[in-house]
Each structure stands twice: as C-alpha cells, then as structure tokens.
Structure 1
Amino acid sequence: MAARHHDRRGTDDAGARTPPGPGARGRLVLIPGFPAPGVDVAELTVIRHGQSLSNELLIAANKQGISSVSGLPARDADVPLSARGEREAAAVGRWAAGLENPPDLVIASPYLRAQLTAQAAVDALGGGVEFRLDDRVRDREIGVLTLMTEAAVRAAYPDEVKRWEETGFLYYRPPGGESHSDMAIRLRSFLTDLGRYASGRRVLVVAHDSVVVMLRYVIEGLVEDDVQAIARAGGIKNASVTRWEWDGSALGLTLFNDIQHL
C-alpha cells in the first residue's frame, strides 16, 4: 500500500492539531513533535526483515494456545530466517536488483534475521555498495516478555498489563526492556549521524517492525495517538518497504508497508 505523507500541523477537520487560540485556556491541545532535523539523505528506505524462525513459532504458539516459544536454536538476536523468510529475503534481493535508483549505503540491525535479509539486497546490488551494521536500529527489547504470546503475558503478568494500560504505548517499559520512547531516543541519534554521514545519498536500512513504526514517529513528528494507530493497523509486514524522500526541506513519506515485490 502506497501512502503519501500528510502534514498533521494543518487546520483541516481530520484530526488537525492547532495551537490554542483565545479562550482556549485549560483545554488540552495536542501539537506534533519536531520532525527530525537535518536528515537530508536523498532517500531513506526501510525494510523489515524476512520472517524469522521466532516469528514463525510465535504465530504457531498463538494458534495453538501455547504460552511461549521454545526450541529456538539460539538467543533472539541470533535466530535465523524461517524457510518463508528466506524466500522473502530472496524477493528483497530481486527488488533491489530492479531499482532504477539503487541505494549506495545499506545499514542493517545486528540481529541475524536483519543481516541475512540485508545481505540478499547487498548481493543483488553488486559492487560499490557500502554495508554497515548499527545497533541503534535493533529491535525493541521487551525483557521478561520476550517471545511470550499476548494471552500468556496477561495470565503471567497481570500487574504489567495494568501498568501498560496506565502508562501508555510510548512510555511503558517492561522489566528488563525498553519503552518505545527509549527507542525514539536512539533513533534520533541514528538519524542525526546519518544526516552527517550520508547527506544526499540513497540509504537502505533493514531492521524491525518497531523500528519502522518509531522512525515514522521521529521523522514525521507524530504524536502518541498517531504512532499507536500505525502500530495497531495490521502490523508492519515482513520484508515490507517503507520510504521517505527528501523534498528540499524535509523527508516526506512516499511508501509505507508495501509488499508488491513479494
């Protein structure tokens, strides 16, 4: 699905956020955050990794009513792609090979599932492509809740469920994990460095669903309701493509969660 970026700071009737005017005292008005400044890459494309073995097993656990995933061959960061994920990575490679204006810088999360997906793109692009890893685009760390189904979390950690409901999408931090707001901090750092290092270049990042969601939050200056709606609207698909392009003053969203290449 392609999607164009719409400025949320206007005054239309579709959820616009406007500063309070005369007589607005005491009324809460939501104003978007500042979009990420100075990230003047020509194009920033972000792909979620292909389906991992843990993704596959978690889907099966939900269907079978099993509380958590077991039997993985390694820690979460080192879990490989599933057979389906390998096919999706190959499709990413074919997609990369067919780009009219390919990236010359590829950055991947250090998690194995992201590295394997990125490598398929790098191999397809051929020589001259710079390939780097950056742990700031790793997946969200969810601590004690890792690889648990939602039903299992509600059964085992009812106090955490209550705390999540009270704290909210951006600020809830599970024990041993990080909040989405924590992610935003490291992604702002990543984008700042990217703007310094890759000004004017076409960049491909291969990362995770939470990274795609929170990059939208940071780049577009969204508010909590916006980003929570994005996260809940069907999820970020494995091997999907999201893209922002530089328009002379800012990065604008031109493609979101697209899987036409699969």
Structure 2
Amino acid sequence: MWPKQIIVVRHAESEGNIRQMDDNSSAQVPNHQFSLTKNGEAQALVTGEYLRKNSEFFGFDVAFTSTFWRAQQTLHLMCPKIVPRIDARLDEFWRGIWHTMSKEEVEKLYPAEAKIKEREGWYHYRAFGGQNGQDVDLMIYSFLADLREFWSGKRVLIVGHGTWMIFFWRIMCRRSIAEAEKRYQEKKFRNASITVFEQKDDGMKLTIDDFLPKDIDSGQATTDEINKAINDLANFTKTVRWWGLLGKLGQSKERLKIYSYDDACDMHEALYLSGEGFINEHLRPVGNLAEVVEGFMVNVFYGAETNEWNSQQHRRPSQLIPWLESLCLSRGL
C-alpha cells in the first residue's frame, strides 16, 4: 500500500542558486554544505507557515530530508519542532567533477569529458565521481519501497532538491526520460515550492505541481462567499427556470463543460451541465453542490501535459447563478 499523501518541498534558495556553475567562490564550500540565502530563509518561513495554516490538507506523520545542509535548513525553518529522518537517497543528483570544478578546470584535466557528456546525454552520462540518471532512479525506487512498507496509509513530507524532484516526478507519473529532460530544461521545480501526490486506487495521483504560497490570488474567494454560492445554487435548482434549462439541454443533447482537469499523470476529471443536471467525466450525476461551486471557480486547470504549466482561470463563486441565468435567457427561458 502507498502512503496516503506525499508532500515534496524543494529546498529554499541557497548560495548555489545565486552562483554560476563556474563561480570559483563555490569551491570554498562543499556543495552539500551550501546554506540558504536571506531570501531563502524567508521563502522557507512562508512555505512552513502555509503548511501549518492548511494542516488539514498538508499535515504529515513523518518528515524526510537529505544529507545536504540546505534541505535540512529549509525543513528546520519550516517546521522547527520536527526531528526529521535524514536519508541519503534524497540527495541531489550529483554531477561529480562538474559540481566540484569549474568548466575550465574540467577542460584542462579531463579534455574529452565535455564531448562524452554531450554524446551520452543528460540522463545516461556519468561524470567522474558522480552519478547518472539510473543511479538516482535506483535510490528513489529503494526509498519508495520503504515508504510503502513502513508508511503505508500515512502522510509523508519530503524536503529535497530540484533535479531529484524531476526524477521523482518522472517515476511517480510514469513519464519518459525525454519528458524529464524537457522539464529539466524548461520548467524546474521552484525553490520552496510544494508538490503533492495523493493515494488513488492502487497508485499515487499528482494533485499539486510546483505550487508556491505566493502564487495564491490575494482576491481568492472567502468561505462566506463559497457558502452563499452553494445556498444560492441549491435554491436555483428548485426553480422552474432550472428545470426548463435541463429540458432544453436534454432536447439538444448539449453537454456544457464547467470544469476540466488534466494533470501530469494523465489523470482526467471534468464537470458538465447536461439535461441530467451536473455530471462528471464518467457521465454520472454529481449531487455535491460544493463540488460544483468549486469546479466553477477553478474552471480550467492544466497540468504538465500542456505548454501552460498549472495555468488556472479563476471565476468568482458569485458568478455562478448569473452564468446559469444567462444560459436560461439564451434559450428563451
């Protein structure tokens, strides 16, 4: 059995994130000892506060982090009272000489290495003293086996690293090596971002991808607004106009999309309005009006399958009834 939920947070901004790979100052401190910047410390505090305020959704039974100081420091700032489990299988993808030397030093001491790196590719190339993609995959598979054996049905928090998270995402979502490399080149996980996988059937479903608390729309709907929209919808579904609208949709066999969701694990969810009322992607009735209001608010969510990563179109809950009324008017009701 899988854990109930796996929350993965990338470490906050560190010294290494603001340096170039060839910055000689990096050689003064081992990569695994890089500390967070002042901005990174602030990022970790914001993410930690968000997790605590939303503990109903982001609570956890155990916390894991890597042997790298920047990940441990992030977790400590996020959750100062937590004693984490340090696990080397969460360490960042180690590039050996490319992590410990400048490009000029590598070219001088290992003149053929750059060509070998280019020939073998991002996933398969293993530098001197480093790893390749297969090595990271094996560590992740081993770690997942332990999670399934010892933390089945529990909530797990992982504070780790950006490239490691891409490998983790690839395995959890059954993506190809080419897709992982594309994500590495175009859309890395951001510092202090939150990614969540939740248990579904016999596997895990990606439900949140690279979310930063600062991404929250400050104008998001309040609980009172949502509850009012639910009550207004309940009243509207008792009116003659509602039943007239369903009759018109039934005659025309229309199915109006209210909400759709396609994530990076090829999961698909949808909510429609048809002659039978509100139905889901399997064309089964949806009786939970709160689910209808929530779907209407989000409208569209695209995951990693699209070019617009996690783009969302928001609508206010108060717009739901006017939208339904406009449907009635357009059909002469």
**TM-score normalized with structure 1 length:** 0.74
Give the match for residue 223 of structure 1: 176
User: Is the CA contact 1:43–1:246 (under 8 Å) kept in the aligned structure 2?
Assistant: yes
Give the match for residue 43 of structure 1: 5
2:190 corresponds, among 237, 242, 259, to 237
Task: Look up the SS of the partner of 2:208 in the other structure.
Answer: strand
Letter in 2 for 1:161: A
User: Is the CA contact 1:95–1:261 (under 8 Å) kept in the aligned structure 2?
Assistant: no
User: Is the CA contact 1:244–1:252 (under 8 Å) kept in the aligned structure 2?
Assistant: yes
User: Is the CA contact 1:144–1:175 (under 8 Å) kept in the aligned structure 2?
Assistant: yes
Superposed CA deviations along residues 147-196 of structure 1, whole A, max 9, x for unmatched, are: 667x7589656632321222122211111100021100011000100111
Q: What is the percent sequence identity of the aligned residues?
A: 25
User: Is the CA contact 1:54–1:147 (under 8 Å) kept in the aligned structure 2?
Assistant: no
1:103 corresponds, among 60, 83, 106, to 60
- Identify, as 1 or 2, the structure richer in helix: 2
Task: Look up the SS of the partner of 1:246 in the other structure.
Answer: strand
Higher mean alpha-carbon deviation, 229-238 vs 42-51, is at: 229-238
Q: Distance in 2 between matches of 1:135 and 1:72?
A: 22
Gaps of 5+ in 1: 1-37, 62-66
Superposed CA deviations along residues 99-141 of structure 1, whole A, max 9, x for unmatched, are: 2231121111121100011112323xx6xx6621111001111
Structure 1's consecutive aligned runs of 4 or more residues displaced over 4 angstroms after TM superposition are 151-158
Give the match for residue 70 of structure 2: 113
Q: Distance in 2 between matches of 1:241 and 1:220?
A: 16
User: Is the CA contact 2:10–2:193 (under 8 Å) kept in the aligned structure 1?
Assistant: yes
CA RMSD of aligned residues (A): 2.3
Task: Give the 5 Å matches for 1:1-262.
Answer: 38=1, 40-58=2-20, 67-70=22-25, 74-99=29-54, 100-101=56-57, 102-123=59-80, 131-146=84-99, 159-261=112-214
Higher mean alpha-carbon deviation, 199-208 vs 223-232, is at: 223-232
Task: Look up the SS of the partner of 2:85 in the other structure.
Answer: strand
Gaps of 5+ in 2: 216-333
Q: How many residues are matched?
A: 212
Task: Look up the SS of the partner of 1:170 in the other structure.
Answer: helix
- Identify, as 1 or 2, the structure richer in strand: 2
Q: Distance in 1 between matches of 2:24 and 2:17?
A: 9
Superposed CA deviations along residues 196-251 of structure 1, whole A, max 9, x for unmatched, are: 11111111100101111000122222221111111112322111111111112111
Give the match for residue 13 of structure 1: none
Q: Distance in 1 between matches of 2:24 and 2:169?
A: 29
Give the match for residue 20 of structure 1: none
User: Is the CA contact 1:122–1:131 (under 8 Å) kept in the aligned structure 2?
Assistant: no
